[in-house]
Amino acid sequence: MLPNFLNEVDAATSRPSRPSRASSVSTPTAEVNACLIARIGWCHRQAMEARTTLEVEEWYSEQKGLIDALLERDCTPEYRGTPALRERYSRGLQDGRVLIQVAKIRPSCHHTYTHN
């Protein structure tokens, strides 16, 4: 799970930023989304410390929502049959979108996530 997570985050943060024809939508970058990446890492750590399978799945669903916000996609339909996981995925997706918007206004974030 961690290698896939790191590959998705690396892919999302290494895309070159180019102007868009659509209003103010811009491609996310690592500098702009330091808080989002820190939150993704935090969800991963919470999943690693979870005591039940459901808790693990919930934390990874939230993490997936954050990653999807970074990658500008929405996989909500994949969570149709599991309301608890859908709720956590949606929370991650919404929070991730908000963090991206906030970073456009105030790009300085003091959170970091490092992986070994």
Write the pLDDT tens digit of every residue in 73-109.
999 999 999 999 999 999 999 999 999 998 888 766 6
Q: Write down the pLDDT at residue 34.
A: 84
Per-domain residue ranges of the chain:
30-105
- For residue 16, what is the DSSP state? P
Rounded Cα distance, 66 and 40, in Å: 6
Q: Which two tokens stand for residue 50?
A: 């979870």
Q: Write down the pLDDT at residue 108.
A: 64
Above 50 in pLDDT, residue 19?
Answer: no
Rounded Cα distance, 15 and 10, in Å: 9
Q: Which helix (H) or strand (E) holds 34?
A: helix 34-49
Rounded Cα distance, 45 and 86, in Å: 20
Q: Mean of the per-residue pLDDT values for the chain? A: 78
Residue type for 11, please? A
> Is this structure's pTM higher than 0.75?
no
- Give me the residue label for tokens 């290494």: 14
Above 80 in pLDDT, residue 47?
Answer: yes
The 10 Å CB-count burial string (b at 16+, else e) for 66-93 is: bbbbbbeeeeeeebeeeeebbebbbebb
Above 60 in pLDDT, residue 6?
Answer: no
